[in-house]
Amino acid sequence: MSNQKAVPPVVAGGFAARPAFTTLDKVEHLRSVDLFSQASVEELYRLATIAREVGFPAQWVIFQETDIADAFYIVDRGLVECVSKAGEVRGVIGPGEVFGLYSALTRESRQARAAALEKTVAISIAAEDLFSLLSNNMEIVVSMFKHFVKKLGGGARA
């Protein structure tokens, strides 16, 4: 696993321009993410209680390819680049976008290296916390399931 850990935004040399997210801020941010677009306000609140704000300085390696996935991230501000071991850029992730989700859900190793291209603030949800929450909240499971069906189905209807 990567030796680098997330740097709290308020610690990284004046990194944060404002205080950490409140639970309400997290709910609003989660609501804007497509993955949770089908979730109710109550479900978003439950998710917000397990989410935490993390900050990464520019060029910070968030995780390496083959690291065991322990969390996924939703970018609030900044940019994150995901690159395969072969050096292929798999994507540049910006505000409102999710990265690291599939490996976290499958509990498999990462399939790409992720690094902050610039100062980045994200919401992190630990995989274990997510699974614990999902095991007791079928409504969130259903809302996530709807998202994946829509994404995989490409809008086609049978």
Q: In total, how many domains does the chain have?
A: 1
For 88, other C-beta atoms within 10 Å of its C-beta total 9
147 domain-assigned: yes
Task: Give the containing element (helix H, strand E) for 62.
Answer: strand 61-63
10 domain-assigned: no
Percentage of the chain lying above the pLDDT 90 cut: 48
At 70 the three-state DSSP class reads coil
At 69 the three-state DSSP class reads coil
Q: Is the pLDDT of residue 154 over 70?
A: no
Q: Tell me the pLDDT band of 43, cut-offs 50, 70 and 90.
A: confident
15 domain-assigned: no
**Segment 125-149 mean pLDDT:** 85
6 domain-assigned: no
Contacts of 3 (CB under 8 A, 6+ apart): none
112 domain-assigned: yes
CA angle 59, 48, 17 (to 5 degrees): 45
9 domain-assigned: no
Q: Which amino acid is at 63?
A: F
CATH code of the domain containing 86: 2.60.120.10
CA 27, 135, 123, 72 dihedral sign is negative
At 54 the three-state DSSP class reads strand
32 domain-assigned: yes
Query: The domain containing residue 80 runs over which residues?
Result: 23-153
